[in-house]
Amino acid sequence: MPQSCVAYNCYIRHRKGGNLKFHTFPKTGLLRDKWIAALGRADFVPSTYSRICSKHFHENDYEINAHGKKVLKKDAIPSKFCFVNSIARSSDANV
Q: What is the pLDDT of residues 24-76, one digit of tens each?
A: 999 989 999 999 999 988 899 999 999 999 999 999 999 999 999 999 999 99
At 85 the pLDDT is: 57
pLDDT confidence of residue 19: 87
pTM of the model: 0.79
The helix/strand/coil state of 32 is: helix
DSSP 47-92: -TT-EEEGGGS-GGGEEE-TTS-EEE-TT--------HHHHHHHHH
Give the Cα separation of 25 and 31 in Å (integer).
Answer: 9
Does residue 19 or residue 89 have the better pLDDT?
Answer: 19
Q: Which residues contact 93 (CB under 8 A, 6 or more apart)?
A: none
Name the band, by pLDDT with cuts 50, 70 and 90, for residue 88. very low
